[in-house]
Every structure is written in C-alpha cells, then in structure tokens.
Amino acid sequence: MIKLEAADLAARIKAEVKAEIERGVRASLAAVRVGDDPASAVYVRNKIRACEEVGIRSEHHALPESTTTEQLLELITSLNTRDDVDGILTQLPLPAHIDETAIIEAMNPLKDVDGFHPVNAGKLAMGRPVFVPCTPAGIIELLDDRGVEIRGANACVVGRSQIVGRPMAQLLLQRDATVTICHSRTRDLPAVTRTADLLVVAIGRTGFIGRDHIKPGATVIDVGMNKVSDVDEVRRLFGDEAEKRLDVVAKRGSTLVGDVNPAEATEVAGMLTPVPGGVGLLTVAMLMKNTLKAAKLRRA
C-alpha cells in the first residue's frame, strides 16, 4: 500500500505562488472568523501563516461570538469594496445564529477564494470554473501529481457537502470519471463503495470506512479530520502504528484520524492519503493559489 503524502506537493504549490509574488504580483487575503471555536482558530492561524510564507498580505478579523448577521454583512460589504483586498474567506462553520447562506451570497464572487458563492458553484457545475473549493481542487492536483488515472475510472464520493462532496464529484465528472455520490441515506453503502477504483470520503465520522467498503487496490482519499484520545480506539484504528499514536496522545491529549479506518484500509487499498499529512496540507496551499488568481483576475 502506497501512502499518498502531500507535504512535498503542497510545498511546491506554495513555492510557485511565492515566485509569482516575488516577480511583482501583489495579493492580499482577508480572513474572517466569528466566535471562539478552537478548531476554527487553528485553521485560520494556519492560513495566515501560509500567507506569510508566500508573501501574500493578510489581515485577520476575529469577531466575538455575539456578532450578528447584520454586523458580519457590514464587514463583508466593506471588504468587497476595498481595492487592497483581493480575497475574502469566512471561516466556517459560523455560529448558529448567523445566516451562513446570506454571508456567502453577500461576498463578491471575484473575491470568493473558497469557491462557495453560488456564482462560482454554478460555473463549476457548467464546466467553466473560476474559483474551485480548495479541498477538492487540491485532491485533483494530488491525483495528477501521483499519476492516478481519473479518465474512465469508477469514482465514488462519500459525502455531499457544498464544501467537498458536490464540487469533488463535479471535478471528477469533468475529468471523465464515472461518478457516484453516496450519503447518509445510501442503501448498502459498502456494496456501492466497493465498486470504486477511486474512493473519496468526506463525512466527518471517525474511522467509519473500513476494509468492507474498499475495492482491493483502490485509491482512497481521506478528507476527514477527527480527534481520538481513547486508548482502545487508537489501537483499533492504527494497528501496528498504534504505539506511535499513543505517544502523541500522551503528549497532546489526542491524535488525528480521518473518516477511514487506516489499519483496515492499509490491508486493502492500493493508495491511501494519511491523516495528518494528506489532504489538509493541500487545502491551505490551494487557498494561496486561489488568492493569487483573484489578484491577477482583478488586475487583468
């Protein structure tokens, strides 16, 4: 089984962005976060750090949990009109009392570097993408980089979110794969996923996909990011690597695992993205690439 590690590819993508910035392209990103969710804080911090690495100017708008939809809309409108802001990202999920749809739709589509605005989603569906959501875009880059054949492959996407599942299916379809989308109401999920040469899993369920879901030799892309701290659960999920992961738990209180059971998947899959070290790194790298693209489109 081959590990589809992404650190090298992510570094190369960021290096390409940095080279263009150093040649004189000016780019800037405004990151907006509402509330005190620890995971969101980490994600935004990683994105700001990546901006520093490649030379993109960034600003971080950290708003209190009490922020209203109207107040957030006012900020988005302000960022839309500023000529010194090329890209805007609003870290999701937003607090429950904020109208997430209204916030996404208020964004200027040409500054929507996450690719969530209906205009960008519609253009992707029509095969004329401008900004593609960063995680699916990164997965395509990884598959291409590692020579995984997409054309003609039976591809299965487990999960139908607007952030990963649906755009992922669109990209695979546009690359001539035969695509099936599975979700919580799919009947006999293992029977469907076992037909896939290429299996992409994004459901937010710890180690849910096991050996019975995977076709022997399939390429498995694990988008999940879940924390595990229970010793027995760590042993069940990681098998021979459990001791290393238990050391991480001892130091940090938990370790990360995706939506795929790595111990079982390793027995069956031909290729598998690790967690961490896989898709997450590409998500940030593609955000840098999208921000650079936004800057160039606005100045074209």
CB atoms within 10 A of CB 273: 29
Asked if 114 is an active-site residue, the reply is yes
Neighbours of 218 (CB within 10 A): 24
Residue type, 122: G
Name the burial class of residue 251, with classes exposed (0-12), middle (13-18) and buried (19+) by CB atoms within 10 angstroms of its CB: exposed
Active-site annotation holder among 86, 91, 111, 197: 91
d(CA 243, CA 247): 6
Rg (CA), the chain: 19
Catalytic residue among 47, 111, 215, 293: 47
Catalytic residue, chosen from 14, 111, 112, 114, is 114
Under 8 Å between Cβ of 286 and 232: no
91 is catalytic: yes
SS3 42: helix
Q: Which residues contact 32 (CB under 8 A, 6 or more apart)?
A: 61, 63, 72, 75, 76, 79, 88, 89, 90, 91
Sheet holding 178-182, edge to edge: 2-3, 271-272, 219-222, 198-201, 154-158, 178-182
Kindly list the catalytic residues: 47, 91, 114
